[in-house]
Each structure stands twice: as structure tokens, then as C-alpha cells.
Amino acid sequence: MHSKALSGDGAVFQSRHQPWRSLRNLLFLGIVLLFGACERTLERDVIVDNLIYGIDTIPVYSSSAEKDKLKTTTQFVSTAYSQLYLRPIPSETLNELSLLRSAHGDKNLIGELVISHFLADDAVLATLTTETEMNTDPEAFVEQTYLRFFLRLPTAYERYALSRQILSDPETTVIEVYRAFLLSNEYLYY
Amino acid sequence: MKRRDFLRNSSLASASLFTAPFLLPSGRAFARAGSRLVNHVVFVLFAGGIRNQESVDMGYLSTQGAGSSGNILPNMLSGAVPGGSLVHSPWAPALSTPLSQQGTLFRNLRYASGPTGHYNGHTVAMTGNYTDTGLNLNLNPDFPTVFEYYRKHSDPMPNARSCWWLSTELGPYPSLNFSRHPEYGALYGANYLMPGYGLGEAAVQYLGGLQTLHPEEANRVKGIKAQLDGFFNQGPGQVSGVKNSDQDNRSIQQLYLDLLSGADTLDLPLPDGVPSYLLTGDGANIATGWKILDRFQPELVVINTTNSDVCHDNFSEYLVALHKADYAVGWLWDKIQQHPVLANDTLLICMPEHGRNLEPNGLVDANGLRAFDHTSDENSRDVFALIAGPSSVVAQGRVVGTPSSPVGESIDIVPTIAHALGFLDAVPSGMLPGRVLDEAWA
């Protein structure tokens, strides 16, 4: 049994540790190791930028059709964090955010809030491409953004269409584009 | 008036009778298809494994040979409170008239089949189908949940914000807001919230200072996302969970952010003078359920209480948890009856997910009281159900069923809800083996 009580430090509710966290962590570790191994195995010739973990970013997928499995909550949180902060997520942060996401039924709704938290962090803002760079060479920005979040290169039409959409509205920001990628259906899959 | 003008005006007036929306007492523009008894149902799964000995039998300590009998659920049941040798601190009831007097008590109702496990019991109560085999935890149930029946078979289809499932714990319980049934699933699921984590310390830490997006920014993001989604082809069966409309998404986010920032606060189910640290997880869950009811007036809400599961090793704390959960239920009903939309238009159903064994398990608490498990003996299949509502809808003060002649089963709650909300006739035959608990109606 896990009982909760009003917290004195401002939390609406205070929660206790739940024992199945450990199992979840082990599962996640296994998934991360497996995923990392796949990334090495599928290395291609195209090397665009140093984005993830200071390692050359490479396309893991040749097309979106290869993504047919839903990310678990821990996979979603950890990949979003690492692709924005460019470093692995601390285990405590992963635990807390995974539980937070699990506690809500509409994953898109809570995902928007978690991503808003990430995108408001100075550490993430420091990694962003500038609006000037985006608008000067939108196709290069689109390609980098596809690689950063979808781990693949855009098709020619995807590159053209998104570049055109960015240029069509001068108010569009880099954060908005990143937010849209992180909230997209494709981002839910691996 | 010229004849032509008269004909035109009279025909317009006649047409408006058919096209103008009819405002109902609840503020809803149109009545839904199907005859409804009420427009709101709140189902409190009074769970954790509750023996009838300590609930409707009012045995208190007498079954242990350790003290008096008496009623520790004074908000739900009529009966004299324990006279002495108390192991709990009595709270004055939130209700002057117990719920059993504001509705019908099914005193002995059967959990007839399958293991008496917590998740099994929840699944049975929320799907209306017994689960005879072991369940894979963290998998959505095979049979549709009451939320899916409600959304799929109500016309017009209600949005996801119209139904909620709130649980005191995570574990497998988040999976009960929709099923894996191929004809139903997430498209018809309910919103889910576990307040302890969803609005807990981490939520305050990470989300407390956020604001919802400016509409123009949200529109630009939506446009880019729509383009990205247009290039990604996954079948409708691959959706990742329940999705709210954009408008509902914003309103639910606003509720969460209001609570996390302190702009809005929860009313707590505690008597005057009782400090907030005595609030249980059950109380917190019901408090959050009330906030959602108050703000959104959903038509179908399922909330559970589970703290009484401490009975595995502490019978005294089991009684305390029962007493506090009873207070929270009474407090919730009192709130509902003060609400301009919900009052006199809401059905409240309470039922444990299963009972507990007749024989103790060998553990003894600090008061020398023996503890009980729930391992599918006959006693653990004996539960009660309480249906309260407006006197025009629900028989007041009626008691049906006896230990030797039980009335109703756990699988009957879903068809009863479906009947009350007017969509039972649209549910395909064979999906719900239970029956409507017609004994409850006035």
C-alpha cells in the first residue's frame, strides 16, 4: 500500500517510492544498451554533425517505415532528454519523469508539458540553432532536425515541404519546430 | 399582415422549433439518444479488499473476540457506531443521512468467478466480465471498459474529457482506461490520472512554473506537427493512448498547471480541525476526483480507494482506512449535492473489488488483532454494493440480498451504469453477461 499526504513543500501530493521502479530501471538499461548497439551496427556513410553525446550523428533509419514499435514511457523521456540536452538523462530525473508520464492517460497532453519544461531550460536553449541560421538555410536546418529527432534523413519532399512551411511564416521559431518534432506521431515510435 | 408574410413567418417559426437547441437543466444543448436516468455517474471502487464482516455486518472487533461490534462506515451505512475499545479515532460523518438511506444497498452481492486479486477485481468491476485466468500486468484488459461502451455507444459520441479514471496507485491500474478489444480501444478510452505522481512533488518541480502555449504559437506547432504526421503512416490501431481534442487538452493542462502553481487548490475530505497530514491516498484521490467533477462535470467517473489493503498485516489500520475512506465518500456526495449541475442528476455507486478471507493469515498487529488475506475463498467473494441517487430515480432506504440469498454480481455494475446513462441498448449482445440491478430503481 502506498499512502500519500499533502506535502509541506508545495507539492499537491507526496508519493512514496514504489518497488517496481528498480525493475523498470533494469529494463530501461537493457533497452538503452540494445539501442546503442543498433546505432553502431547500422552506421552509414553520411555524417552530418556532432549532436548526440558528442558522437557523430548518423541516420539510424533509412525511412520512417522502419519504425513500427511504440516507445515506452522511459524510452520517450530518455530520448527526448538526451536529444535536447545532448547528454544522457540522470537516472533520478528519468524515474521521476517516467512516473509523471505514467500517471496521465493522455500521453500527448503530458508530453507537451514535459517538453515545455525541457525547452524552457537554459541548458537546452544553449544547444539550439538560431532563428537566423534556420531562415538562412532552412533545408540544412530541416536535415539536421530530422537527424536529431527522427534519426533519419528527410526525403526530398519532406525537406522541401518543411523548409517551405518555415519560410512561409517568419514568426516560426526553432523551439516551435523542435516542439512539433517531439510531439509528432513518428517520435512516438522506434 | 400579408398572406405571404404570414406563411413565411409561421414556417420559420415552425422550423425553429425543430432546429433550435433545447437547453436541458444540466446546461447541455441536446439530449443524447437513449433514455437516461441521470446525466452523471460516479463509481467509487471502494477497494483494497473489504470484508462484509467489517462493512455491512458491522462486526468491528467482535469477529476477533476483542471488543464491541459497530458501524465504522457511518457515511455509507445506517447503524450504531462502536461503543468502546476503539482502534480508530472516530470522525463526525460528513452526511447527516447515510447513503444507504439515500439509495439502495445490495447487502450481499457476489464476485462469482475468477481470482480475488486487486487488479482482477478492478477489471471485473470496470469491464463487466469475469477474468478466470491470470492477468498479464500492465496490459490493457481484453474486454472493453465501461468508458469504451459509454463513448462508443452514446450518440453523439462524448469526448474523452467526459469520462475519467482516477487510481490511488500506478502498477497495472493505468491500463484500465481502455481495452485491447479490436472493436474498441484507446479511441474510446477515458482520461486517466494518478494524483500522487501526476500532481505530486515531481510534477511541481518540473511543471509548476509552466504556462500553456500562446494560441498563435500552438497553431504554428500544430501546423508543423500536422505536416510531419502526414508523412508518417501508422494504422489507427497503433495510437499510443487516449487523446483529447485540442480545446479539451488546453483546459485539462490548465487545470493541472493551476493546481501545480497554487493558482487553484484542492478541497480536502477532512473534518474541521483534522490536520492535512492525516489525509490518506484514498482521500487525495477522491479530492482530485471532486476537482475534476467540479471543473468539467464529466458524465462518468471511476475513482478507487485502496488503503484498506493494509489488512494483510494490520487489521487495526484496515479499520482506520475504512473509516477514512467512508468519510471521503460521504464528503464527495455532499459536494456533489451542492453543485449546480451535478446535484440531483448524479448516481453514486460504491462497491469493493472483492472481499477477504474468513480465516486469518497468522499475522497479528500491535493491538493483537489478526490479519486477513484474499485468496478466493467464499468469504472473499461476498461483497456489497450501494447505489445512491435522486429519489425520483433510486429507491431510498431499500436493502436487498442476504448472506443466504445474495442479489447481484460484480459484473452487474457496468450494465447498470450503461442503463443509467442510456446506452445499454446499443451495446452488442453477448458483450455484457451481467444484468441491470433493477432492484435499485424507484
CA B147, CA B227: separation in Å to the nearest integer? 31
Residue B85, pLDDT score: 81
List chain A residues with CB under 8 Å of B147.
none
- Any CB–CB contact under 8 A between B307 and chain A? yes
- Best of A1, A61, A113 to substitute, by most chain B Cβ atoms within 10 angstroms, is A1
Q: Using CA coordinates, name the residue in chain A closest to B167.
A: A103
Indicate the SS3 state at residue B272.
Answer: coil
> Are the C-beta atoms of B159 and B245 separated by less than 8 Å?
yes
Higher pLDDT, B23 or B258: B258
- Best of A12, A77, A108, A110 to substitute, by most chain B Cβ atoms within 10 angstroms, is A12
Nearest to B196 by CA among A43, A5, A18, A25: A5
Residue B24, pLDDT score: 41
Which of A166-175, B10-19, B286-295 shows the lowest mean pLDDT across its residues?
B10-19
> Are the C-beta atoms of B132 and B113 separated by less than 8 Å?
yes
DSSP assignment letter at B40 = E
* Residue B166, beta-bridge partner list: B193, B303
Question: How far A161 CA sits from the closest chain B CA (Å)?
Answer: 8
- Any CB–CB contact under 8 A between B289 and chain A? no
User: What one-letter code names the amino acid at A64?
Assistant: S
Would you state the cell numbers that stand for residue A178, as one nine-digit string?
A: 523542435
Q: ∠ at Cα A146 (A145, A150), nearest 5°? A: 120
Q: Using CA coordinates, name the residue in chain B closest to A157.
A: B231
> Are the C-beta atoms of B141 and B123 separated by less than 8 Å?
yes
Question: How far A42 CA sits from the closest chain B CA (Å)?
Answer: 22
CA A158, CA A151: separation in Å to the nearest integer? 14
Q: Which residues contact B72 (CB under 8 A, 6 or more apart)?
A: B54, B58, B60, B81, B82, B88, B319, B322, B323, B326
Residue B347, pLDDT score: 98
E strands, B223-345, in order: 300-305
E strands, chain A, in order: 50-52, 55-56
Over 80: is that where the pLDDT of B94 sits?
yes
Question: How far B9 CA sits from the closest chain A CA (Å)?
Answer: 49
CA B204, CA B218: separation in Å to the nearest integer? 23
**Cβ pair A155:B198 closer than 8 A:** no
Instruction: Note the pTM of the prediction, 2 decimals.
Output: 0.85
User: What one-letter code names the amino acid at B161?
Assistant: R
- CA B38 to the chain's CA centroid: 15
Which of B51-60, B63-72, B140-149, B227-236 shows the lowest mean pLDDT across its residues?
B227-236
DSSP assignment letter at B253 = H
* Residue B304, beta-bridge partner list: B45
Nearest to B228 among A15, A68, A184 (CB): A184
**Is the four-CA dihedral A43, A49, A51, A53 of positive or negative sign?**
positive
**Cβ pair A103:B170 closer than 8 A:** yes
**Is the four-CA dihedral B99, B101, B107, B112 of positive or negative sign?**
negative
pLDDT in tens, B251-260: 999 999 999 9
List chain A residues with CB under 8 Å of B196.
2, 4, 13-15, 103
List chain A residues with CB under 8 Å of B202.
96-97, 99-100
**Cβ pair A99:B48 closer than 8 A:** no
Q: How confident is the model at residue B33 (pLDDT cuts 50, 70, 90)?
A: low
In this structure, are strands A50-52 and B191-193 parallel, antiparallel, or unpaired? unpaired
Q: Using CA coordinates, name the residue in chain A closest to B232.
A: A186
Over 50: is that where the pLDDT of B405 sits?
yes
Question: How far B148 CA sits from the closest chain A CA (Å)?
Answer: 14
Question: How far A57 CA sits from the closest chain B CA (Å)?
Answer: 21
DSSP assignment letter at B133 = S
Question: How far A13 CA sits from the closest chain B CA (Å)?
Answer: 4
CA B167, CA B188: separation in Å to the nearest integer? 19
Indicate the SS3 state at residue A51.
Answer: strand
CA A190, CA B343: separation in Å to the nearest integer? 48
List chain A residues with CB under 8 Å of B213.
112, 116
- Any CB–CB contact under 8 A between B168 and chain A? yes
- Any CB–CB contact under 8 A between A131 and chain B? no
CA B416, CA B413: separation in Å to the nearest integer? 5
Please compute the mean of the pLDDT values over residues B147-170 and round it to a whole number.
Answer: 97
End-to-end CA distance of chain A: 35
Residue B21, pLDDT score: 37
Nearest to B76 by CA among B305, B295, B280: B305
As for the ipTM of the complex, it is: 0.89
CA B170, CA B138: separation in Å to the nearest integer? 10
- Best of B139, B225, B300 to substitute, by most chain A Cβ atoms within 10 angstroms, is B225
Indicate the SS3 state at residue B49.
Answer: coil
**Nearest 5°: phi and psi at B370?**
-85, 150
Q: What is the mean pLDDT of chain A?
A: 78
List chain A residues with CB under 8 Å of B48.
1
- Any CB–CB contact under 8 A between A104 and chain B? yes
CA dihedral A73, A77, A83, A85 (to 10 degrees): -170
> Are the C-beta atoms of B301 and B163 separated by less than 8 Å?
yes
Q: What is the mean pLDDT of chain B?
A: 91
End-to-end CA distance of chain B: 52
% of chain B with per-residue pLDDT over 90: 84
List chain B residues with CB under 8 Å of A4.
168, 195-196, 200, 279-281, 284
Residue B134, pLDDT score: 59
Q: How confident is the model at residue B17 (pLDDT cuts 50, 70, 90)?
A: very low
CA dihedral B421, B426, B432, B435 (to 10 degrees): 60
CA B50, CA B308: separation in Å to the nearest integer? 7
- Any CB–CB contact under 8 A between A9 and chain B? yes
DSSP per-residue letters across B50-117: --TTTTTT--TTGGGTSS----S-TTTS-SPPP-S--SS-PPPPS-SS-GGGGEEEEEEEE--SS---
**Cβ pair B309:A172 closer than 8 A:** no
Q: Using CA coordinates, name the residue in chain A closest to B321.
A: A3
E strands, B299-397, in order: 300-305, 346-351, 382-388
